[in-house]
Amino acid sequence: MRLLTFEHDGQRRIGARSGDSVVDISRADPSIPDDMPGFLDAGRPALDRAQKALEVGEPALSAAEVNVLAPISNPQKIICIGLNYADHAAESNMPIPSEPVVFAKYATAIAGPGEAIRLPTTSQKVDYEVELVAVIGRAGRNIPESDALDHVAGYTVGHDVSARDYQLEKPAGQWLLGKTFDTFAPIGPDLVTSDEVPAPHALGIRCILNGETVQASCTDQLIFKIQQLVAYLSHVFTLTPGDLIFTGTPSGVGMGRTPQRWLKPGDNVVCEIDAIGRLENPVV
Ligand code: ZN
């Protein structure tokens, strides 16, 4: 299923895409929780009921008449992996990590499709990073790699917007601050369930800035695969439904270019992953 969170008649709801329409699954079956983490936490029975509502096909709205929001706006955790593509580590002048490099964003950074990325007045070096985002569906701690993908509900497209001057030029580096300004975590539009993504490590991934392709790679270039990340992280903390794992970005970011290229007001950024979706955000 291609799940989405949308607003209609002033209410936030969960839907599933069916061609050009959106089936309002929380209205079709009121037992389905109307927030995405709650829905994912309800597990297989809720997914089965949603699938049934999708097959019935009503109530349906045309995709054009719904306001699509970020699929998840209130995760317990937004976990990000740095330097997880070998070509990006090289352009950052960093060695290939021997263990995942982990940092985080706060939920206040989340933005939906079409929502503006707001450049902070205190940063002059804001950069783009397209990323595949794994969404946790089933809670777990100390998850073995062999079970890890069973804990992933699905995938969405993410944009790890990054203020490089905070991240790299402040004393000791301020990764957290540089990564978590408001609107620095656009995600969406759809959460594509895992059953529709049988090969998450074979997806073309691109970032297109003002019509020019600036990043183009494949998720087969990930140094640490999704199952390794889920296992590694869950040995430290409990993963819970709705947690987001930004899996890292390929080469081509503005920092690694000559001359360097920073986001400016009026830019338009499209992050695109095969079979997952296309996430577009203007910059103001
Ligand atoms: Zn990143």
Q: Could you read off the pLDDT of 109-127 as tens digits, one per residue?
A: 999 999 999 999 999 999 9
Residue 130 alpha carbon to ligand 1 centre in Å: 7
Residue 88 alpha carbon to ligand 1 centre in Å: 10
Residue 217 alpha carbon to ligand 1 centre in Å: 14
Asked whether 226 and 233 are in contact (CB, 8 A), the reply is no
Residue 238: its pLDDT value, please?
Answer: 98
The whole-angstrom separation of Cα 55 and Cα 40 is 19
| C-alpha torsion 149→202→274→69, nearest 10 | 20
pTM over 0.75: yes
Residue 83 alpha carbon to ligand 1 centre in Å: 7
Residue 42 alpha carbon to ligand 1 centre in Å: 30
Residue 128 alpha carbon to ligand 1 centre in Å: 9
Say which DSSP state 274 is in.
Answer: T
Residue 160 alpha carbon to ligand 1 centre in Å: 5
Q: What are phi and psi of 123, to 5 degrees?
A: -125, 140
Residue 248 alpha carbon to ligand 1 centre in Å: 5
Residue 180 alpha carbon to ligand 1 centre in Å: 11
Tokens 């990590």 label which residue? 97
Residue 90: its pLDDT value, please?
Answer: 85
Residue 58 alpha carbon to ligand 1 centre in Å: 38
Could you read off the pLDDT of 62-115 as tens digits, one per residue? Answer: 988 899 999 999 999 999 999 999 888 888 888 899 999 999 999 999 999 999
Residue 41 alpha carbon to ligand 1 centre in Å: 26
Residue 90 alpha carbon to ligand 1 centre in Å: 14
Segment-wise mean pLDDT, segments of 10 residues, the chain, 284 residues: 94 92 91 91 92 91 93 97 90 90 97 98 98 98 98 98 97 95 98 97 98 97 97 98 97 95 98 98 98
Contacts of 202 (CB under 8 A, 6+ apart): 218, 219, 220
Residue 197 alpha carbon to ligand 1 centre in Å: 22
Residue 174 alpha carbon to ligand 1 centre in Å: 14
Residue 237 alpha carbon to ligand 1 centre in Å: 20
